[in-house]
Amino acid sequence: MISACDRLSAMIFPITDLLSEQQCVEWIVQHFHPQGLRCPRCGATTDQARQFRSTSRGLIDYRCKKGCNTFYYLYTNTVFSGTLLRARQVVLLLRGVCKGESTLSLAAELGLSRVSVHRWRKRLQEKGYLMLDDEALTDTDTETDEMFQNAGEKKRKTQRSSRSAPTSGKQAARAR
């Protein structure tokens, strides 16, 4: 007999259907284009561009009207440039990778293949490592996890009892 918890744990929620595409686009613009979406060549804003076309994935392609006639869109000059992912999928993929969710569960939630999600995870991690600062932190208040600081170190030997281990019959008697 299958319990309700077993059915819920096996259920795949269509989370991409629960998010607003427009809110995801706004989130991507805020975090990937902090000065606003602009022409990569001349810096013109989307107000100074014409909407070239709307794509099947819900994104708008722009063509600059300021003379350079450059084509650009939401993912231009980002790690997602050239992708066919919807804005919802990008936001949830970033969230899942940052949270450490498994590739298999992310693939099921996003409607992508496991191989595709694995490739995206590797790309995002590579870009993240490139953006890491090589210099140590300058403040004196920074705390680090003790496990990280002392990984592999043994300051003192553990104290072991000089008595031998009890036989299995004695352990069972004590457990009662």
Residue-level pLDDT, tens digit, the chain, 176 residues: 555 555 555 555 666 667 888 899 899 999 999 888 888 888 888 877 777 776 666 788 888 887 788 888 889 889 998 888 999 999 999 999 988 999 998 998 888 999 999 999 999 999 888 888 778 767 777 666 555 555 555 666 666 656 666 565 555 555 55
Contacts of range 74-83, beta carbons closer than 8 Å, 24 or more positions apart:
74/25, 74/28, 74/29, 74/32, 74/37, 75/28, 75/32, 76/40, 77/40, 78/32, 79/123, 79/124, 79/127
Residue 62 backbone phi and psi in degrees, to 5: -115, 150
Kindly list the domain boundaries of the chain, sorted by start residue.
17-35+78-127, 38-73
pLDDT at residue 161 in the model: 59
Tell me the residue type at 81. Answer: S
Q: Give this prediction's pTM.
A: 0.65
